[in-house]
Amino acid sequence: MKPNGRRIEVRTADDKLIFSLRLCDEEANGSTSDRDEQKGHDGNGGKGSKDFVAMTESQKRYLFRILAERGLEGDDAHQHLKERFGANVLTDVSKREASSMIEQLLEEGEAKAK
């Protein structure tokens, strides 16, 4: 049986995230979701744990700026990032994952420039 869950987000009028709450139903044996296993989360510091730190707004803006410089903006950039991260929503992306993606995108840009 797969875990069922819901995400509740509270945002300001200008769409800034105030907080996000994830409610999950898991089997009694403590199994993790397939997605967490695919992403390498072991339940000790991954999504849903008290140690998870979401991507910062600055990181998010920087990712969108990098993509805009490559001609990818708005919804297209948003969808591109969700696909690259393998996430349904960007609030599922950790600060560490965002840093890694920024580095990857910058390296890709340098490689294309050569």
Q: Domain end: 31, 52, 73, which one?
A: 52
Please, what is the Cα angle at 99 between 82 and 17, to 5 degrees?
60
For 105, the domain range is 53-114
Q: Which of 10-14, 25-29, 92-96 has the lowest mean pLDDT?
A: 25-29
At 28-80, the pLDDT tens digits run: 444 444 444 344 444 434 556 677 899 999 999 999 999 999 999 999 999 99
pTM: 0.56
Instruction: Specify the pLDDT at position 48.
Output: 61
Task: Return d(Cα 15, Cα 91) in angstroms, integer.
Answer: 12
DSSP class of 46:
S
Stretch (H or E) spanning 9: strand 4-11
Both 68 and 45 in one domain: the answer is: no
Which residue stretches of 6-94 are H helix? Answer: 34-38, 57-69, 74-85
Total number of domains in the chain:
2
Do 81 and 92 meet the contact criterion of CB atoms below 8 Å apart?
no
Query: Which pLDDT value is given to residue 26?
Result: 54
Check residue 40 and give its pLDDT: 44
Same domain, 40 and 95: no
